[in-house]
Amino acid sequence: MTKKQLGNSDLHLSPVGFGAWAIGGGDWAFGWGPQDDADSIAAIHRALELGINWIDTAAVYGLGYSEEIVAAALKTSSVKPYVFTKCGMVWDENREVSRSLKTIRAEVEASLRRLQVDVIDLYQIHWPFPDEEVEEGWTTMAELRREGKVRWIGVSNFSVAQMERAMKIAPITSLQPPYSAINRSVEADILPFCLKQGIGVINYAPMHSGMLTGAMSKERVAALPDNDFRRKAKQYQEPFLTWNLGLADLMQQIGSRHGVVAGVVAIAWTRHNPAITAAIVGGRSAKQVDGVIPALEFALSEAEYAEIGEYLATQLT
């Protein structure tokens, strides 16, 4: 397994990191449905045991609950990974989520408590909203780094223009964008900018929230619980659903040649882009983790990458 340095940091990341969105549970606006805590902890332990050396979570995942589960898992693990989390999405007593970059100082203290760590390895602004608060938010992030509360600072879901504004205040270690063979919107401008500027990229949803795992089907989509955000997601509706499942089938065919599942091929497809440092992959059980662990080593040949490219050329808009 080859590790890559994340931007201007001293962090060297395994090709895949453990994404902790789903383990926040289903009791909030962007949940993935019910989740068993014991399964979550087992998934984290398995990921660390097999060589994943970083975990990405966010304060808003489960409204603080994901961070608490990460802490519980690390308390009973002999392996100590890098811990990344995010700020900028807050909630009230009614569990209603809003976005603010004025509360980052209070947010970092809450995340430190929930994670039970003295310092956060990478702290990221989750969304650049409100846009007019980007400069204020990034100034606070730079202050937190100087104060030693966080080691490195990054952004998530920022445009090139927003990154340029932030860079006038302090360097950006990393960007976290969505990137998959289904969602390629960052390819045109954002990934080339990061590559040129030396900004590390840790992409989320490389399997497009489960669509490209090889385990998704029309029947499974129809049976998703009401509190699973995917029920209303565009790419889980027709006519996109049929096209996406066709892509997953192609990835499964390629994976079968190497004894890996479609999800491993989907992750490898994103990592084929030179701008990508590493990919965030969620896991809701140890079994799911076992399925994607080959992504630590697996790479697509140029011919296989081109084969997928031919299918992508027919994508619906």
Question: Which residue numbers are catalytic?
Answer: 61
User: Would you state the pLDDT for residue 69?
Assistant: 97
pLDDT tens column, 71-99: 999 999 999 999 999 999 999 999 999 99
Buried b (16+ CB within 10 A) or exposed e, 107-138: bbeebbebbebeebbbbbbbbbbeeebbeebb
DSSP characters for 61-115?
A: TTTTHHHHHHHHHHHT-S---EEEEEESEEE-TT--EEE-SS-HHHHHHHHHHHH
Residue range 285-311: mean pLDDT, rounded: 97
User: Would you state the pLDDT for residue 27?
Assistant: 84
User: Would you state the pLDDT for residue 248?
Assistant: 98
pLDDT tens column, 13-46: 999 999 999 999 888 888 888 899 999 999 999 9
User: Would you state the pLDDT for residue 18?
Assistant: 98
Answer whether residue 12 shows pLDDT above 90: yes
Domains of the chain with CATH codes: 12-312 (3.20.20.100)
User: Would you state the pLDDT for residue 227?
Assistant: 86
User: Would you state the pLDDT for residue 181?
Assistant: 98
Answer whether residue 221 shows pLDDT above 90: yes
d(CA 160, CA 164): 6
Answer whether residue 304 shows pLDDT above 90: yes
User: Would you state the pLDDT for residue 26?
Assistant: 84
User: Would you state the pLDDT for residue 94?
Assistant: 94
pLDDT tens column, 105-122: 999 999 999 999 999 999
% of the chain with per-residue pLDDT over 70 = 100
Answer whether residue 267 shows pLDDT above 90: yes
pLDDT tens column, 65-75: 999 999 999 99
Q: How sure is the predictor about 226, in pLDDT bands with cuts at 50, 70 and 90?
A: confident
User: Would you state the pLDDT for residue 33?
Assistant: 86
Residue 70 in contact with residue 83, Cβ under 8 Å? yes
Residue range 164-169: mean pLDDT, rounded: 98
Rounded mean pLDDT of the chain?
A: 97
Nearest to 295, CA basis, from 41, 83, 52: 52
Residue 50 in contact with residue 289, Cβ under 8 Å? yes
User: Would you state the pLDDT for residue 277?
Assistant: 98
Q: How sure is the predictor about 137, in pLDDT bands with cuts at 50, 70 and 90?
A: very high
The CA dihedral of 259, 262, 267, 273, to the nearest 10 degrees, is 90
Answer whether residue 317 shows pLDDT above 90: no
SS3 22: helix
Q: How sure is the predictor about 236, in pLDDT bands with cuts at 50, 70 and 90?
A: very high
